[in-house]
Structure 1
Amino acid sequence: MMSDQIVTAAASLTAISIVAFAMLRGWHGWLTLKEHELDRATSGKAPEREVDTGSALGAARIELSDLKERIKKLEAIASGVDP
């Protein structure tokens, strides 16, 4: 009975140690990745712009800007001011 408990405790301790080691390796890898990102950002190399990468976010911003202009024109027309 006592030996079964010792085996279970040892197996549990081993499993916890393996999981903790794997998590620690992952944490160190993540920190290394963030250090590389910071080094790249401070090395003077400009980050890629949305225009260069062709992001859809840039197109959405342009469309939003156009909509805001149209709203301003419509508000001016509604209030009787010539735009």
Structure 2
Amino acid sequence: MTDPEAMLALTAAVLMGLAIVSATSLRAWHGWLELKRLEIAAVRSETQRSEMPPSPTASTGRIELADLKERVRKLEAIAAGIDLG
């Protein structure tokens, strides 16, 4: 198999096969990426459709803060052994 034409034909066949495998792999990779993009878009649209709790307003935030301070005061009193009852 030292014939230069046979070696050239074998090399061309190997390169053609490598090109086909590479093109197929690249097409599969792009398909997989598109699938993942669609999955991410579906998850994002699903989370946007789900009801999000309303953002707290300033007065709601103050009320929550006051409740937290009251709870902390009660817990400190319990830890100190004082009955607030």
TM range (shorter): 0.5 to 0.7
CA-atom RMSD in angstroms: 1.1
Counterparts in 2 of 1:45 and 1:32: CA distance versus 1, 3 Å: farther
Aligned equivalent of 2:29:
27
1:34-56 deviation per Cα after TM superposition (whole angstroms, max 9, x unaligned): 0000001111256xxxxxxxxxx
What amino acid is the match of 2:13? A
Aligned residues: 46
Structure 1 Cα separation of the partners of residues 35 and 24 of structure 2: 17
Structure 1 residue 26: deviation in Å? 0.3
Aligned equivalent of 2:18:
16
- Consecutive unaligned residues of structure 2, counting only runs of 5 or more, are 51-85
- Consecutive unaligned residues of structure 1, counting only runs of 5 or more, are 47-83
Structure 1 Cα separation of the partners of residues 10 and 49 of structure 2: 54
Structure 2 Cα separation of the partners of residues 45 and 16 of structure 1: 46
Q: TM-score, normalised by structure 1?
A: 0.53
The runs of 4+ residues in structure 1 deviating greater than 4 Å are: none
Percent identity of equivalent pairs? 35
1:40-77 deviation per Cα after TM superposition (whole angstroms, max 9, x unaligned): 1111256xxxxxxxxxxxxxxxxxxxxxxxxxxxxxxx
The partner residue of 2:9 within 7, 10, 31 is 7
Counterparts in 2 of 1:45 and 1:33: CA distance versus 1, 3 Å: farther
Q: TM-score, normalised by structure 2?
A: 0.51
Larger radius of gyration: 2
